[in-house]
Structure 1
Amino acid sequence: MLLSILIIQILANIVFRTIVIEARTVLSEYTHRPDVKHFESELDRTTGYWSPSTSSIDWCERNYVVTQYIAEFWNCLSSLVFCLLSGILFFQALYYRIENRFLLLCLSYMFVGLGSAFFHGTLTYLGQMADELSMVYSMIIWWFILFRMDKFNKIRNKMYRLDLGIVFAIFYGILWTYMHSLKTFIVIFQVHFGLMVFGAILKSIFIYRQTQHRTRYIMCLIIIYVTLLIPALTSWILDQELCERMNTTGGFNPQLHAWWHVFCAIDSHVGLVCTEAMRLLSIKYNLHKIKHADSSTESFKPEDHLHIRFYFGLPYVDYSHTIQLKQQ
């Protein structure tokens, strides 16, 4: 235990010092970027409060149109939907005393929203890092929860095994932070994040196929999650492909990248609720096995242990039903 902590501290110090040294060079190099990716024939050079732009990409929304203090107003505003929806789930988790892992996941989605708002509001290198790195961090946390779905080992009893997962997650996050902050990959980042989402979907389907998770609620949530990716990706692609046409004189720009944010925020909400539901069933199934260890006739019926409620079209795990069952 002490050795693992010492190793983590040494690695963290080495990586931190390296990142600080390299960051100075990176920030000075990216003050006036010649390689900004944009989606019109000419880069939008409108100046505002945060000018000059230092990010490696400039989206289709025209800069500083609504106010001189926000570069991409609608993209910035729509990013806050992440904060709203994850904030609701965060307070629900606090109220029902759900596991800390879900509090952390909710917080990570809130940081995704704040980072995205910072990026689109300023179009700065620092804002871009806050946006893209927080997206990867949230996926790392989600993966950790999915791959520990059926684990119930106490920290004090299985510290070594737990440390391996946490150390790997931290190391992967630090490594990606270092690599991405030096070069600000665009295509590589997008492919990397897409693979993380695809892997999480496959893992969720695998968990659903287990007997204790096979309910219509889980299936429905997975289907909704995958289905929402279609309008989200469509908005994201069309915003880039039709950018020139939408921004020409007399054209209409429906701010499709802002709609991408809205769809992704709702999708993240659905994915988080689905993960909460699967974890609840895992806990209930574990308790059922302990309670009926001497009986093979008592079968576990997952549909009796999970209830999903919809409010304003958004799903939520009904933990109040679980509390009522405990009190009976």
Structure 2
Amino acid sequence: MNWAIPFFPYPPSKPGFWSPVTSTLNWCEEDYYATVYSAEIVNTLTNLLFMALGVKGIISCIRNQHDQIFLVAYLGYLVVGTGSFLFHTTLKYPMQLVDELSMIYTTCLMVYASFAFSRPTGVRVAIGVSLSALSVFITLYYHYLQDPTFHQNTYALLTIVVVFRSMYTMEKTLRPKWRKSREEDRLEKEKRGLPVPSKERQHFENVRDTKLLATMWCMVGYGLAMFLGGFAIWNLDNHFCSDIRRWRRQVGLPWGIFLEGHGWWHIMTGIGAYLYIVWGIQLRHCLKGQQDDYHLHWARVWHIPDVVRTAPSSKGANSQQKKLS
């Protein structure tokens, strides 16, 4: 059956500006068919979303005065996108290391943010040293093995650890039934000489946090769906590469672009990873009791969320009086 929609035939692959390929991975997209200056043009350009969201996150961190660990995390996120851009442009082994190892380092930063918050200085130092040593070990061992499966499994394990830890922390912090009873909380605050919230204020906080918790769980589900969906598409791309290449040539350009599975992986994991950092920022503000000072702005599921600082007028004397009443 002939493809009825107008299309341009795929150009043949040709020697490229960055030849020869030295990376240990080469994806299903054919090399140098669009331009001699980019080995995998779709896999390259889909990283622009990573880079744009990285810049957006950095600007948001500076503007809204989020903790500096998240500014560093966004810088790492930007390095991941830039490294992947360079890797798929050149298919050179050094660029592959920039791409893959920056994923490990950025995830280790999020592990530190999750486990070290509000811990004594000695514990924070121990966690930081341990994660640094782990990063060095992964770097050296991966360079020795040059086995992409080791990198993928390590990245997946680190991500699972930090996501489940953050889920536990979120529930414990925001779910009213998991907190201390109101009387226990009142007695502890009285003992420490802290203001005791009124029943009305306690009810307000419970309703506020329950609504926020529902939004944050929605973000978790959406982010996981992006990660798992992108992983599934990428695996189909790996297992059925010869068939997919044939289908691409049958439908031609630009329609064949939509069959680039690794490109979809970039888009979907870029969104998923960005959602996770935003989620981590909001969770940190909740741990610091700043739910009234910061707002998780996410109007629609298809919008890019952000944690924004509340307008100064809403944090003035009246707001402080409410907290203490």
Kindly indicate whether residue 285 of structure 2 is the aligned counterpart of residue 327 of structure 1: no
Q: Does the CA contact (< 8 Å) of 2:39 and 2:90 recur in 1? A: yes
User: With structure 2 as the length reference, what TM-score do the two structures score?
Assistant: 0.75
Partner of 2:262: 257
The SS at the match of 2:288 is: helix
Residue matched to 2:273:
268
Deviation for aligned residue 1:305: 5.9
Structure 2 distance, partners of 1:324, 1:61, is: 53
Aligned positions, number: 261
Is 1:145 the counterpart of 2:113? The answer is yes
1:98: how far off?
1.6
Tell me how far apart the structure 2 counterparts of residues 146 and 93 of structure 1 sit (CA, whole Å).
17
**CA-CA distance at 1:230 after TM superposition:** 3.0
Question: Which amino acid in the other structure matches residue 199 of structure 1?
Answer: V
Give CA-to-partner distance per residue, 1:96-121, whole Å, 9 cap, x none. Answer: 22211010000000000011111111
Q: Indicate how the Cα distance of structure 1 residues 230 and 169 shifts in structure 2: closer, same or farther if over 3 A, else same.
A: closer
User: Secondary structure of 2:26's partner?
Assistant: coil
Match of 1:192 among 154, 167, 184: 154
* Structure having greater relative contact order (Cα 8 Å, sep ≥ 6): 2
Shift of 1:152: 6.4
Q: For 1:216 and 1:307, locate their aligned partners in 2 and report how far apart those are by CA, in whole Å.
A: 14
Q: Is the 8 A contact 1:144 1:165 kept in 2?
A: yes
Equivalent residue number for residue 304 of structure 2: 314
Specify whether residues 324 and 222 from structure 1 end up closer, same or farther in structure 2 by C-alpha distance, changes over 3 A only. Answer: farther
Please give the alpha-carbon distance, in whole angstroms, between the structure 2 residues aligned to 1:140 and 1:72: 29
State the secondary structure of the residue aligned to 1:307.
strand
Q: 1:326 to 1:148 in 2, by over 3 A?
A: farther
Q: Secondary structure at the match of 2:305?
A: strand
Which amino acid is the alignment partner of residue 113 of structure 1? G
Query: Of the candidates 140, 157, 161, which is equivalent to residue 178 of structure 1?
Result: 140
Q: Which residue of 1 aligns with 2:238?
A: 240
Contact 2:116-2:124 at 8 Å conserved across structures: no
Q: 1:167 aligns with which of 105, 125, 129?
A: 129
Q: Are 2:218 and 1:220 aligned?
A: yes
**Residues in 2 aligned to 1:145 and 1:255: alpha-carbon distance in whole angstroms:** 34
Q: Do 1:308 and 1:315's aligned partners in 2 also have CA atoms closer than 8 Å? A: yes
Q: Counterpart of 1:210 in 2: which secondary structure? A: helix
Query: d(CA) in 2 for partners of 1:165 and 1:325?
Result: 37
Partners of 1:162 and 1:191 lie apart in 2 by: 26
Deviates more, 1:174-183 or 1:130-139: 174-183
Distance 2:164 2:174 in 1: 17
> What secondary structure, in the 3-state scheme, does the structure 1 residue paired with 2:135 have?
helix
Letter in 1 for 2:48: L
Which of 39, 53, 57 lines up with 1:85 in the alignment? 53
Pairs within 5 Å for 1:1-328: 46-149=14-117, 151=118, 158=121, 160-212=122-174, 215-248=213-246, 249-250=249-250, 252=256, 254-284=259-289, 307-310=295-298, 313-321=303-311, 323-328=312-317
| In structure 2, distance between residues paired with 1:134 and 1:276 | 20
Larger of the two Rg values belongs to structure = 2
- Structure-1 separation of matches of 2:224 and 2:81: 21
SS of residue matched to 2:219: helix
CA RMSD of aligned residues (A): 2.1
State how far apart, in whole Å, the 2-side matches of 1:128 and 1:209 are: 37
Deviation (angstroms), 1:134: 0.5
Give the direction of change, closer, same or farther, for the CA distance of 1:98–1:306 in structure 2 (3 Å limit).
closer
Unaligned runs of 5+ in 1: 1-43, 286-301
C-alpha separation in 1, matches of 2:31 and 2:134: 34
Contact 1:46 1:63 in 2 (8 A): yes
What are structure 2's unaligned runs of at least 5 residues? 1-11, 176-209, 318-325
Alignment partners' CA distance in 2, 1:195 and 1:316? 27
The farther-off stretch of 163-172 and 51-60 is 163-172
Tell me, in whole angstroms, the C-alpha distance in 1 between the residues paired with 2:304 and 2:226. 13
SS in 1 for 2:310: helix
Tell whether the 8 Å contact from 1:208 to 1:219 is kept in structure 2 after alignment. Answer: no
Task: Give me the whole-angstrom Cα distance separating, in 2, the residues matched to 1:180 and 1:258.
Answer: 24
What letter corresponds to residue 233 of structure 1 in structure 2?
A: F
The TM-score normalised by the length of structure 1 is 0.74
Q: What are the superposed Cα offsets for residues 242-267 of structure 1, whole Å, 9 maximum, x if unpaired?
A: 21012125254521111110001111
Inter-partner Cα distance in structure 2 for 1:265 and 1:194: 15
| 1:184-236 C-alpha deviation (Å, 9 max, x unpaired) | 21112111111112222211211122133662222222121122223211221
